[in-house]
């Protein structure tokens, strides 16, 4: 039985003071509607599934389009919902895929932490075109000899992040090998998956501020996590021992180190200043899973490893329709629609309002607000009198627009 199965069987959870109004907590919040999928073909791919399942449910409905649950990502992957696994691990004959059409499992999976060549290579055939999260993040793709100078891989169930070793944030970074070839990692893969689904996203990766390998004052801190959650963006947590960048496995030196991936979707700060992170374990462990924001090992049992760093993901709004009926113009769009629940107050509030802006030129652009903010996904305005006009939808928070 692998460590993931042993941990699930143990039914562990992190203990902390009772949560809720009776605890007198200063802050206890979480993003509502975060899926809780059980481990399937690797925790890295499963955690990515939880993240993208969340966004499919919160304003980006094109991320999952299969037949399960009517095409909307369900909250779990049990019983009739098992097909959602194709979101991160596609397979021939599964979730509406034709029997003769290989997918991620057919082309890349042998067994948990197998170091064997990928099945498609052993069979002498090309791999299928990427069509699930596991494909795009490089999960289980055993063909990379140099991953950021740390290890080689990816062995089955593993994926990788090209961290900035100085602790700086890497935004929208695409890793490349010595010959200029793209090497997929988790953040770049999430961005590529989003483009494949017809949208855009900004991503970043950053080592944790308590990581002993980076200079003091660098790295992603708890206040950064709070800012992401408060703005409506769950964060991927990448767990790994600080002193283990690779493992020597039989017949495969410098293989991926032991690691784990989860999704942070809330936090808790007590009136004494104690700081905890709320997360999905990637084992369908349910709610009330917390760990303190420290360099200590976050998990008991066989896993025992700290947080190495995080991956952030911000989907952008996407215009889906424009209707001109003089003298009016109507624009429709899709985009983030998160809700933050405050446990102490038993209140929830939507986080993503939108503005409509226009400019009479794009060089230089001089966009001005013409409507909003609104929590809806449609606005109607009068057509401008200018000979030409460019419109954009922007989240009423920094840096994200759809043209």
Count other C-beta atoms under 10 Å from residue 30's C-beta: 22
Sign for the CA dihedral angle at 296, 301, 307, 312 comes to negative
Closest by CA to 310, choosing from 245, 223, 244, is: 223
Convert the pLDDT of each residue in 237-275 to its tens digit: 999 999 999 999 999 999 999 999 999 999 999 999 999
Mean pLDDT for 71-78 is: 98
20 has pLDDT over 60? no
CA distance 27 to 346: 12
Instruction: Name the band, by pLDDT with cuts 50, 70 and 90, for residue 17.
Output: very low
Instruction: Name the band, by pLDDT with cuts 50, 70 and 90, for residue 304.
Output: confident
Whether CATH 2.60.120 fits 318-402: no
Convert the pLDDT of each residue in 316-366 to its tens digit: 999 999 999 999 999 999 999 999 999 999 999 999 999 999 999 888 989
Kindly report whether the peptide bond that precedes residue 154 is cis, defined as omega within 30 degrees of 0.
yes
Convert the pLDDT of each residue in 176-227 to its tens digit: 998 899 999 999 999 999 999 999 999 999 999 999 999 999 999 999 999 9
Q: What is the pLDDT of residue 9?
A: 33
Instruction: Name the band, by pLDDT with cuts 50, 70 and 90, for residue 230.
Output: very high
Q: What is the pLDDT of residue 222?
A: 98
Instruction: Name the band, by pLDDT with cuts 50, 70 and 90, for residue 297.
Output: confident
Convert the pLDDT of each residue in 32-44 to its tens digit: 999 999 999 999 9
Q: What is the pLDDT of residue 4?
A: 33
- Residue whose entry in the numeric block shows the structure tokens 């094109």: 62
Q: What DSSP line would sit under 348-396, residue for residue?
A: EEE---EEEEEES-BTTB--EEEEEEESSSEEEEEPPSSSS-EEEEEES
Q: Where in the sequence of the chain do the CATH 2.60.40 domains occur?
A: 318-402
Please tell me whether residue 307 adopts helix, strand or coil conformation.
strand
Q: Are 308 and 238 in contact (CB under 8 A)?
A: yes
Q: What is the mean pLDDT of the chain?
A: 91
398 has pLDDT over 80? no
CA distance 91 to 77: 15
Q: What is the pLDDT of residue 298?
A: 80
Q: What is the pLDDT of residue 204?
A: 98
400 has pLDDT over 90? no
149 has pLDDT over 70? yes
The CA distances from residue 396 to 194, 199, 293, 313, 316, in Å, are 21, 19, 30, 17, 12
Instruction: Name the band, by pLDDT with cuts 50, 70 and 90, for residue 299.
Output: low
Q: What is the pLDDT of residue 302?
A: 56
Q: Where are the beta strands (DSSP E) in 208-353?
A: 235-239, 247-249, 252-255, 260-269, 275-280, 290-292, 307-315, 318-325, 328-334, 339-342, 347-350
What is the distance, to the nearest Å, from the Cα of residue 226 to the centroid of all Cα atoms in its chain?
Answer: 16
């Amino acid at each position: 039985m692998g460590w993931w199965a042993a941990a699930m069987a143990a039914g562990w959870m992190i203990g902390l003071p009772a949560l809720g109004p009776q605890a007198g907590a200063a802050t206890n919040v979480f993003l509502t509607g975060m899926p809780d999928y059980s481990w399937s073909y690797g925790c890295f791919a499963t955690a990515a599934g939880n993240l993208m399942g969340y966004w499919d449910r919160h304003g980006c409905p094109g991320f999952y389009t299969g037949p399960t649950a009517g095409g909307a990502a369900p909250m779990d992957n049990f019983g009739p919902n098992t097909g959602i696994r194709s979101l991160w691990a596609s397979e021939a004959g599964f979730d509406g895929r034709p029997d003769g059409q290989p997918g991620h499992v057919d082309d890349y999976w042998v067994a948990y932490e197998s170091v064997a060549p990928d099945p498609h290579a052993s069979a002498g055939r090309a791999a299928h075109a990427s069509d699930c999260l596991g494909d795009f993040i490089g999960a289980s793709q055993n063909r990379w000899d140099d991953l950021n100078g740390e290890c080689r891989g990816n062995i089955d169930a593993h994926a990788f992040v090209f961290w900035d070793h100085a602790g700086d944030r890497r935004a929208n970074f695409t890793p490349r090998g010595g010959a200029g070839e793209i090497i997929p990692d988790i953040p770049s893969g999430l961005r590529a998956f989003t483009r494949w689904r017809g949208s855009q996203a900004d991503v970043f990766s950053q080592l944790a501020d308590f990581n002993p390998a980076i200079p003091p004052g660098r790295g992603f801190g708890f206040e950064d996590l709070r800012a992401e959650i408060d703005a409506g963006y769950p964060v991927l947590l990448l767990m790994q021992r600080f002193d283990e960048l690779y493992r020597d496995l039989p017949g495969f030196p410098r293989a991926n180190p032991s690691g784990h991936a989860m999704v942070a979707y809330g936090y808790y700060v007590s009136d004494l200043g104690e700081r905890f992170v709320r997360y999905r374990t990637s084992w369908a462990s349910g709610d009330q899973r917390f760990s303190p924001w420290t360099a200590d090992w976050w998990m008991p049992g066989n896993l025992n490893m700290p947080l190495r760093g995080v991956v952030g993901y911000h989907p952008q709004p996407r215009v889906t329709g424009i209707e001109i009926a003089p003298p009016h113009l109507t624009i429709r769009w899709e985009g983030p629609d998160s809700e933050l629940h405050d446990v102490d107050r038993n209140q929830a509030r939507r986080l993503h309002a939108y503005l409509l802006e226009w400019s009479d030129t794009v060089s230089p652009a001089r966009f001005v607000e013409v409507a909003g903010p609104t929590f809806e996904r449609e606005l109607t305005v009068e057509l401008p009198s200018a000979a030409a006009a460019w419109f954009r939808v922007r989240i009423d928070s920094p840096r994200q627009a759809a043209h």
